Amino acid sequence: MECIATIRESHHADPTHPPKRSEVVINLDHQATTPCHPSVIQAMEPWWREQWGNPSSRQHRLGLTAAAAIGSARERLAGSLGIRSDELIFTSGATEANNLALLGHARARALSDGEPGHLISVASEHHAVLDPLLQLKQEGFQITLLTPQTNGLLKPEQLEQALQTNTQLISVMVANNEIGVIQPIRELSDLCSNNGITMHTDAAQAYGHLPLDAEELGCALISLSAHKFNGPKGIGALVVRGGTELQPLQWGGGQEQGLRAGTLPVPLIMGMAAAAELSIQDLEERQARLQALRNQLWTDLKDQNPTIELNGALQPRLAHNLNITVPNVSGSRLQRALRPRLACSSGSACSRGEPSHVLQSIGRSRVEAEGSLRLSLGRDTTAKDIDGAIEVITSAIRTLTQH
């Protein structure tokens, strides 16, 4: 769902020219993507070569073996969410899942209700939600985007006041991809169910990092992406709870219950299932460790740079996220100063180079948004990385503010 925003110098990206030890970049951009874990790569390997069958080809052993593997992976992923296996539809990632959920369900509801209705989301959502809503607006749907509080959180009362008699669908992400705040999804879902409204949530940044159960979330539609939790890129899923109507976005071979045509990528699906199991196994320990490192990062940065400001509530927040604004510093100059030694971003990696709409939605000016940093830790982040990041950021801020 996101693409890398901050890159190394061009020669560092050349596999024939690996970086010297002194040139190694500290990676704190794990919300853009994560490295595929070695155990995940191992789980995928046989399905690229020896077991290369098409799961839709049921006339021979290769196809049957692939189909059985898909069934097993689907069961494992469904079990991690507390859903039936037939409630999980594989997609190319969370962007496609969001499009299928929003476009597919809104159009189905318009057909059953006789006309396009009212849809609600939040101004701080990812573009993979906001852009499909813009498309639906062109199709005659009424769109309301709620403004979050300055801490990034949405109050259930805000949603309740926005409801209309023709409200059909609401979309609010579990955890924000830039400021990491965790929304009160269960309370929002209860409002929806009490009013006959469908609830969708983009859980791309949450699944694999928070304990998630579909029944506890209460959402009819849930979007997932494997590369956010050390799985492969190019695979994700949409949870479609029983009784939720969808229109497909593409047609072809009738795969995935006719909702998502196309040959299933068996290696990627096996990798997603392996990554999910890996993330669940050490979730509690990993989150405690990353939260301690994140808190150290914030505390030490604030001690050494008293003017920096936190974006979003510190709690409830993803353990591996920190987002700060550096006042009175050029954002482009700050990024250039950091790039040789630190990989981070100033917002969503798919923000098209524009200042973060998320930060502006919580009251930051355009200039403040440009001078902000999203620092996101990963499973391999160490205390040494945090110390190095503090040194690099502090040095850059002092150099820029002295001039």
Same domain, 169 and 255: yes
CATH code for the domain in which residue 324 is found:
3.90.1150.10
pLDDT recorded at residue 1? 40
Picking from 280, 306, 330, the residue at the C-terminal end of a domain is 280
In a domain, 261, yes or no: yes
Same domain, 195 and 298: no
In a domain, 96, yes or no: yes
Q: How many CB atoms lie within 10 A of CB 280?
A: 17
Query: Is the Cβ–Cβ distance between 158 and 123 less than 8 Å?
Result: no
In a domain, 291, yes or no: yes
CB hemisphere CA count around 23 (13 angstroms): 11
In a domain, 72, yes or no: yes
In a domain, 393, yes or no: yes
Query: Is the Cβ–Cβ distance between 80 and 280 less than 8 Å?
Result: yes
Q: Is the pLDDT of residue 264 over 70?
A: yes
Number of separate domains in the chain: 2
Nearest residue to 199 (alpha-carbon basis) of 154, 163, 168: 168
Picking from 221, 249, 280, the residue at the C-terminal end of a domain is 280
Q: Return the C-alpha torsion angle 103, 126, 7, 319, nearest 10.
A: -130
In a domain, 310, yes or no: yes
Cα gap 277→88, rounded to integer Å: 16
Q: Under 8 Å CB-to-CB from 221, ≥6 apart: which residues? A: 101, 105, 198, 199, 200, 201, 238, 239, 240, 241, 244
In a domain, 4, yes or no: no
87-129 pLDDT, tens digit each: 999 999 999 999 999 999 999 999 999 999 999 999 999 999 9
Phi, psi (deg, nearest 5) at residue 318: -60, 140
Same domain, 179 and 189: yes
Same domain, 256 and 131: yes
Cα gap 58→273, rounded to integer Å: 22
Same domain, 232 and 365: no
pLDDT recorded at residue 24? 85
Query: Is the Cβ–Cβ distance between 374 and 324 less than 8 Å?
Result: no
Q: Is the pLDDT of residue 11 over 70?
A: no
pLDDT recorded at residue 58? 86
207 forms beta bridges with: 210
Cα gap 33→275, rounded to integer Å: 13
Same domain, 107 and 199: yes
Q: How many CB atoms lie within 10 A of CB 54?
A: 15
Give the predicted TM-score (pTM) of the model.
0.92
Same domain, 50 and 196: yes
Same domain, 276 and 169: yes
Nearest residue to 228 (alpha-carbon basis) of 397, 349, 122: 349
More confident residue, 99 or 14: 99
DSSP helix/strand/coil, 205: coil
Same domain, 227 and 176: yes
44-92 pLDDT, tens digit each: 999 999 999 999 998 899 999 999 999 999 999 999 999 999 999 999 9
Average confidence (pLDDT) over 208-218: 97
Q: How many helices (H) and strands (E) does the chain have?
A: 13, 12
Band of pLDDT at residue 402, cut at 50, 70 and 90: confident
Cα gap 30→176, rounded to integer Å: 13
CATH code for the domain in which residue 98 is found:
3.40.640.10
Per DSSP, 24 falls in state P
Band of pLDDT at residue 23, cut at 50, 70 and 90: low
Nearest residue to 185 (alpha-carbon basis) of 145, 150, 216: 216
In a domain, 322, yes or no: yes
Is 350 one of the catalytic residues? yes
Same domain, 286 and 276: no
**Which domain covers residue 253, as residue numbers?**
39-280
Cα gap 203→201, rounded to integer Å: 6
Same domain, 268 and 287: no
**Which residue has 């924000």 as its token pair?**
176
Q: Under 8 Å CB-to-CB from 241, ≥6 apart: which residues? A: 83, 87, 214, 219, 220, 221
Same domain, 217 and 326: no
Q: Is the pLDDT of residue 206 over 60?
A: yes
Picking from 254, 280, 306, the residue at the C-terminal end of a domain is 280
Query: Is the Cβ–Cβ distance between 320 and 289 less than 8 Å?
Result: no
